[in-house]
Structure 1
Amino acid sequence: MDLAQKFDKASDALKCIDMHTTGEPTRIIYSGFPQLHGTLLEQRDQAKTKYDNIRKRIMLEPRGHFDMYGAIMITDTELVQSGEAHIGTLFTHNGGFSTMCGHATIALGRFLVDTHDLSVFPKRDELKVDPKTQTVDVNIHAPCGLIRVTVPTTIDGRESDPSRPVTFVSTPAYAAAIRLTIPIPPEKQWAELEGRDSITLDIAYGGAFYALIDAKELGFSGLSKIDLSSIGNVVKGLKAYLEAQPDVIQALQHPEDQRLSFLYSIMVVDQGIGSRPPGAAGAETGLCFFAENSVDRSPTGSCVTARMALAHAKGLRPSDQIWAYNSLVSNRFDTGAFTATIVEEGILLRGDNGPDRQAVLVRVEGKAYYTGALTFIVEKDDVTSESGFTMGECSG
C-alpha cells in the first residue's frame, strides 16, 4: 500500500483545502470531521464540548500553528433544510469556535463554486450563474446567521475567477457602545500608557463583537511601524480586563442570542495610513488580535462590517460610500485591502437577550487564493499530535 492509499483509508483522516485571504489562512475541512446534530449553534456547542481535541489537531502544531484559522463545512443546518442556505460552516481558531469570519467566507465562497463533489457540497448543482455579471450567489449559514456571498466565475459558472473579488453581505451590524471610557487602575497600566488612568474605545458588532481602539489611545504612535510583541502583550492583558467590565459586558449583549454575546477581538486602528485601491473614498488600517491573541493577517472582514456600522452610527460613513480597510500585510504588498459599502440601513434588531439595536447591512469584498490540499491522519501511539499543542503550553 502506498502512502496515498494509507491516508485515504485511515478511519480518522481529515481532508482539507488550504487558502489565504491577504495572507490570513483558511483551512477548509471538507471531510472527516465527526457528524454533528441539531441547529447550527447546537452543533457549535457539540464541537466545543465533544470534539475540541480534533479542532486542536487541525489548528495547532504540528499540522498548524498558533495563528491558523479554519472553516468546517456543515452540510445540514436548519437554514439548509429551509432552503435559505446552501451549506453551513463552523469557524475555528486557536481558542475555539467563532461566530463569523469574513476572510474565511471569501475563501469558502470560491471553494464552494470550484468543488463539484456532491458528497462534499450536496447543493452545488443548485448554484446558478448570472450570465450578465458572470457571478454565482452562495448562501452560507454561519453561527451568526445567513451570509450572502457572490463569487465571480468563468462564463459557464463552473469555476471561480480569482482575478475578481468575492463579495459578501453578513448579518445586520451595529454600534454597541460609542466612546466608552474605561478606567485603568495602576496595577493594570502599561508603560506606553504613561500614567493615564483611562482609555476610550468603541464596541461594534459585525457577526462578532469587537472593541475598537485607536493605537494612540494605547500609547503607541500608530501602525506604520509597530513592535508586534509589545502591542500584543498590551492587548492580551487588556482583553481579559475588558471582559470583566460592567459597561463592556452590557454592550456585548446581542439582542437575539446569549451565545453571540462575547468579546471576540480587540482591533487596534490607525485612520491615518492605508493602501487605497481605486474607487475608495478613503482608507485606514487595523491590527486585529482575536481568540487567544492570534494576529489576523487580513483586514478582518467581520470587523470591517463592524467598523462600517460604527462609522455610520457616528455620522462618518454614508450609504453607498466605498471605504478601504487594510492590515499590515495589505499595506506591505500594496494589495489585498478589503473594500466595504453600506447597502441597507434602518434595520431594527429585537430579541430577549438585550436592548433593541438599529443596524445596517454592509457589503465587503476581497480576494482569496488556494495554497494547497492536505489529508491529515494520526498514527497509533502518536500522543504528541493527537490533539495538537502550542509552544506556549510546553514552556509554561
Structure 2
Amino acid sequence: MDIARCLVTPEHRPISCIEMQTTGEPTRIVFEGYPELSGTLLEQRAEAKRKYDHIRRRLMLEPRGHFDMYGAVLRKETELTKSGEAHIGVMFMTNDGYSTMCGHATIALGRFLLDTHDLNTFPRRNEVKHDPMAKTALVNLHCPSGLLKVTVPVNDDGSASDPSRPVSFLSVPSFATGIDVTILVPPEYQWTELQGKSKEIHVDFSYGGAFYCMVSATELGFPARLENDKVDQLDKATALLKKYINSTPDLYKYFRHPGHDDLGFLYSIMVVDDTAKARGSEVGLCFFANQQIDRSPTGGAVAARVALAYAKGNRQLGEAWAYHSLVSASGHGPPFLGTVVEELPERYPEIPYPLVRVMGEGQAFYTGFSTFAVEEEDPLGDGGFVFKDCKPAR
C-alpha cells in the first residue's frame, strides 16, 4: 500500500497509537498524527469537538474500533504544562464524545509515559523524577477535570515502568452531590423490570472528575447480584433512567460543577451489586457515554464512590476498598483500589458534602501498536459508524 495516497489533508495523515488495557478496558493512546489544537485544555477539547469529531469517530468506531473503544489523545502543551504544574496533558475520547476524567486510561498512560523516551511524543520526559528507594516515578497529568498526580512503579534507574506493580493516581477534588435522592419514574421512561413495581427509586450522585449516578440493582428491579446474563436488560434500564434524569430540570443540580460549566453533565449510570460481600470489596457495572460498558471498575467512578461512601460515614481516611467490575469479579484481572487520602479544607457553598482526594490504584498492560490511515476513495474512511444504528434505506 502506498501510504502517501492517504496524505490528502493534514487531518488525513496516518494516526499512530499505542494499544493498552486496564482490567480488560482498552485505551487507544494517540501519540502521533492528530491535528494541532490551541488554547487551554478545555478550549482544545471544544475545538476537537467542533472541528475534528470525525477523527474521534474514525478512531473509536467501526471499522477501526468498536462500540466500546476508548481513546486518549496526548496534548504536549496546555496551560498547566506552561506553568510547570503538569508534564503533559490528555484528552479522553468515547463512542459519543469527550469525557473529562478517566482512571483506567490514566493508569495506562502512567506506564506509557514512563516507557517512552521519544521527546517528540513526551517533550518533558526528562523532567520526570524517580524515587530510587521506592522505585517509583511521579507524572503530573493534566486532564480536562484537573491535575492528576500519577505514581508509576519503575525499574532501578527509573528508565521504564514495572508492570508487576500497580500504578496509582491522586484524583481531582471529589465529592458527593446527592444522597438517597428519590426519583419517581413516569410510565414513558419505565423499563420492563420496573413495571408493576414501585416506580419510586432511590439513587446517589457523586463526582470523581465526572458525574455519576449510583443505583443498586434491586432499585432498578433486578436481582441483587450482578450477572452477565442481565447486561442487555440493564443496558435498557440505565439508558431510560439516564434519559429521564437528563430531561428533568429539578435533577440538574446533582450534576452541575460549581467550578466550571464544561464539567457539568451526567456521564454515567453505575449499577452497584448490593449482595453481601466480604468487607472491603464491592462490584459495579458502569454504563457511560452512549451506553458504553466499562470492562474495568472505572477509575473516575472509584473516586466518586469513595467520596460518596466517605460522605455517608461509611469510609474512613486511609481505609482502602476494592472495586470490582464483572471482568475482575470473574477472575480476569485485578480490581481497583480506592482510598480517601485527604479531606480538603475548602468547600463549595452549594455542596453540603466534603471534598476529598482519592487514591485510585490498578494495573495496565500493552496489547499492541497501530497506525490508521484514510484512503481518499473510501466512503467510510473519514469517520466511523455504529453497527446497531445501521438501518436499511427506505
TM-score (norm 2): 0.94
Match of 2:64 in 1: 63
Shift in alpha-carbon separation, 1:66–1:131, aligned structure 2, 3 A: same
**Cα distance, 1:222 vs structure 2:** 2.7
Match of 2:272 in 1: 269
Matched, 1:227 2:225: no
SS of match in other structure, 1:383: coil
CA drift at 1:9:
11
Instruction: Find the counterpart in structure 2 of residue 33 from structure 1.
Output: 34
Confirm whether residue 209 of structure 1 aligns to residue 211 of structure 2.
yes
Q: How many equivalent residue pairs?
A: 388
Instruction: State the alpha-carbon separation in 2 of the partners of residues 3 and 159 from structure 1.
Output: 35
Instruction: Find the counterpart in structure 2 of residue 328 from structure 1.
Output: 326
After superposition, the Cα gap between the structure-2 partners of 1:333 and 1:378, relative to the gap in structure 1 and judged at 3 Å, is same
Match of 1:348 in 2: 346
Residue 92 of structure 1 corresponds to 93
Distance in 2, Cα, partners of 1:259 & 1:133 = 38
CA displacement at 1:42 relative to structure 2: 0.5
Q: Tell me how far 1:356 sits from its aligned partner.
A: 7.0
Task: Tell me, in whole angstroms, the C-alpha distance in 1 between the residues paired with 2:377 and 2:288.
Answer: 33
Structure 1 residue 224: deviation in Å?
A: 3.8
Show the counterpart of 1:243.
Answer: 246
Give the aligned partner of residue 313 of structure 2. Answer: 315
Deviation at 1:334, TM superposition (A): 5.6
Instruction: Please state if 1:80 is matched with 2:81.
Output: yes
CA shift for structure 1 position 124: 0.2
Q: CA RMSD in A?
A: 1.9
Retained in 2: the 8 A contact 1:189–1:195? no
* Amino acid in the other structure paired with 1:238: L
CA distance in 1 between partners of 2:367 and 2:332 (Å) = 20
SS in 1 for 2:121: coil
Matched, 1:387 2:390: no
Question: Does the residue aligned with 1:217 lie in a helix, a strand or coil?
Answer: coil
- Return the offset for 1:128: 1.3
* 3-state SS of 1:97 partner: coil
Q: Deviations over 1:207-228 (max 9, x none)?
A: 0000000000001103442421
Which amino acid is 2:142 matched to?
H
CA distance in 2, matches of 1:335, 1:393: 32
Matches within 5 A, 1:344-383: 344-350=342-348, 355=351, 358-383=354-379
- Identity percentage over the alignment? 51
Distance (Å, rounded) in 2 between the aligned partners of 1:110 and 1:5: 32
Does 2:45 match 1:44? yes
Which one is further off, 386-395 or 140-149?
386-395
Counterpart secondary structure, 2:158? coil
Say which SS state the counterpart of residue 221 (structure 1) adopts.
coil
2:95 alignment partner AA: N
Contact 1:107 1:369 in 2 (8 A): yes
Q: Is 1:302 aligned with 2:304? A: no
**Alpha-carbon distance in structure 2 between the residues aligned to 1:54 and 1:5:** 19
- CA change 1:356–1:219 in 2 (3 A) is closer
Deviation of the 1:188 alpha carbon: 2.0
Distance 1:350 1:363 in 2: 21
Report the TM-score when normalising by structure 1: 0.94
Task: Kindly indicate whether residue 109 of structure 2 is the aligned counterpart of residue 108 of structure 1.
Answer: yes
Q: Deviations over 1:146-170 (max 9, x none)?
A: 0000000111111100100000011
Shift of 1:4: 7.7
Per-residue CA deviations over 1:325-360 (Å, capped at 9, x if unaligned) read 000000112632001110001442448xx5576300
Query: Aligned with 2:371: secondary structure?
Result: strand
